[in-house]
Amino acid sequence: MLYLGILYSGFAVSQTRIKDAQSKIPVAYATVSFGNGHGIFADDEGMFVFSKKLYPDVDSLFVSALGYKDVSIAANNLSETINLEPYIDQLDEVVINVTINRKFKEETLKPYLDDDYYKCWLPTIESEIAVFFNNTDSQLKQISTVHFPITLESKDWKKRKRSNANKREFSTLFKVKFYKNNNGFPGEVLTYDNIVFVATEKHGDAYELDVSKHNLFIPENGFFVSIQVLGYTDKTGKLLPNKKYKEIKTARGIVKIPTNFRPLFPFTDEIEAHNTYIKRVFLDNNKWVQFKKGSGIESSLLKSDLTNYGVGLTYKVFKDE
């Protein structure tokens, strides 16, 4: 991993791999929280980079991943390998690929697109955004594609309104989760599969994520789909170990500001219901908050009544037997 040596030359760097304690298989994209509102993610091989030189104020690391028990480790005792224990109830879980041999029609809820920079959410790795989809009838439905609207930025700000303006380049890794509806908030996950994708400026104003292979059927009381940025990638799509926040000197001392990643997420005021929820991944005990005025969230989007991230959805509706 040559780029690590170049990026952190002169630092005493610790590369740690997160593994399944039983199978010894790497746990991809695990969350590594620092307990101070910040953190990082492991890559697809379960690797992450940490050192006291990079993060001098971090004393403990809290490691979590879907389907595994959380682990707390003192920074001074960090070893080359962290083993995560699977939850017992998942050891006996049998994955069944369901094939429905019935006629169906495909329906699409179009995403809400917007190229106005000032109507966009600036993604940071500390925030996960979930969008609720209601189920209006009892027909069997299977999710095929999720349409994530994105906003591209022009390289030249003065030419941003021109359709042929060159776009700012990026290659960003995102993680997607599906949650059950628990009394109006995201609850248990619908699948423990690691669902990730890399978005670039070449994908246009919406990324279409095919999830048909995950056999996701819409529950009777609806579901949530979430998106979270993991960081920038190299040309092969591998997550880069770049620092996820900036340190700015102020009169009151050093202030840590989360790094914003591209692309941006356009928000809309065209949806009446408050379907969007936000979670601070490294803070507030992973508590979900509805994105609306009076929720305690400070955002210029709310001041403009831009309360929803307009994710689109394509799904199969099966005919009754």
Q: What is the pLDDT of residues 27-59, one digit of tens each?
A: 999 999 987 678 899 999 999 998 888 788 889
Query: pLDDT per residue over 219-251, tens digit each?
Result: 999 999 999 999 999 999 999 876 666 666 777
Which pLDDT value is given to residue 6? 36
pLDDT, mean of residues 144-158: 82
Q: For residue 41, count CB atoms less than 10 angstroms from its CB and return exposed for 0-12, middle for 13-18, buried for 19 or more.
A: buried
What single letter denotes the amino acid at residue 75? A
Instruction: Record the pTM.
Output: 0.87
DSSP readout, 184-203?
TEEEEES----EEEEEEGGG
Banded pLDDT at 150 (limits 50, 70, 90)? very high
Domain spanning 11-91, CATH architecture: Sandwich (2.60)
What single letter denotes the amino acid at residue 320? D
CA proximity to 71, closest of 38, 27, 129:
27
Banded pLDDT at 321 (limits 50, 70, 90)? confident
Query: pLDDT per residue over 66-120, tens digit each?
Result: 889 999 999 988 999 999 999 865 544 444 556 778 899 999 999 999 989 899 9
The mean pLDDT value of the chain amounts to 86
Which pLDDT value is given to residue 260? 83
CA 208 – CA 145 distance, rounded (Å): 6
Domain ranges across the chain:
11-91, 104-318
Banded pLDDT at 163 (limits 50, 70, 90)? low
Banded pLDDT at 207 (limits 50, 70, 90)? very high
Give the CA angle between residues 257, 263, 269 to the nearest 5°.
90
CA 117 – CA 38 distance, rounded (Å): 26
The answer to whether 230 touches 41, Cβ cutoff 8 Å, is yes
User: At a CB cut-off of 8 Å and minimum separation 6, what does 125 contact?
Assistant: 39, 40, 41, 228, 229, 230, 231, 244, 258, 259, 261, 281
| Helix locations, the chain, DSSP H | 2-7, 88-91, 300-303
Q: Phi-psi region for residue 222, left (φ > 0), alpha (ψ -120 to 50) or beta? A: left
Which pLDDT value is given to residue 7? 42
pLDDT, mean of residues 182-211: 94
The answer to whether 65 touches 18, Cβ cutoff 8 Å, is yes
Q: Which residue has the tokens 């109006």?
A: 184
- Torsion, CA 114, CA 239, CA 55, CA 15, rounded to 10: 170
